[in-house]
Structure 1
Amino acid sequence: MPAIDRSAVWQRTRCPSWCVVTHSDDDHMHDWRHQSETYALPVLAVSEGTGSHPDGRDNWQSTELVICLQLRDGADHTEVYIGDGTDQRLALDAPSALRLARKLASVVQVLTALPDVQLEAARFAADAATETGPPCDTGRSPGKMDS
């Protein structure tokens, strides 16, 4: 078994090469993980319910998703985290994330071939580009998993 390079008393495993976290002895147990650089992805997401629409349509809102790699200390599998840090999240193993990316590309390719979808996508892109408001920093760790 290779020697473990400990930077915090709770660490059982060495940091992977992609880990950008500075670990400390007083980290909360929910933060006992290695995390890569995060990539912010501005998106338009549907908010279910009637909201401000009296006819019952869903509301589209600008938000930001974060994508990163995470590995719980001592865990066997690295996960690909995609989420907003609060309400929405996926935590997938690497093969599942690759399958999701391929299927998502296929679905979007079919959709973008339709003229009405192209027009709608252009409108949403224009709306997102002019959207001003506070950043989506929730103060929570982007990959914090619910216990």
Structure 2
Amino acid sequence: MADVNRGNRPLSPFMIGPYYRPQMTSMSSIMVRITAIISLGVAVLIVAWLVAAATSADAFAMVDGLLRVVLGDVIFLFATWAIWYHLLGRLRHVIWDLGYGMDVKTAEAMGLVMFIGATLLAILTFIVT
């Protein structure tokens, strides 16, 4: 049996930091997963708002009041960014599934475009609405 030298190897390729240099592709992939969780949390907020609207005027006034203050605006700005980022990440994976953009330079450029694009689209969304 081959000596696999288990004691000197990292336990996981996801141990970014002490063993692996963060790369644009890995960080953007992690961010897609994080933005999916954020989007789920925002969906829960929206459902709470709708349930409060269906329940009573007092419940709706409380939830609506919480979401309309500056903190609510900040939450929805970041949520809008997360949704746009996640959408662009899914689009990137569709492009990869079609076999395009697989070289390192293009993949890193696509990761940068995701960050910049989500930021511009979130700002544009807030300007338009």
Same-fold status (TM-score > 0.5): no
TM-score by length of 1: 0.22
TM-score by length of 2: 0.25
**Structure with the higher fraction of residues in strand conformation:** 1
Tell me which structure has the larger Cα radius of gyration.
Answer: 2
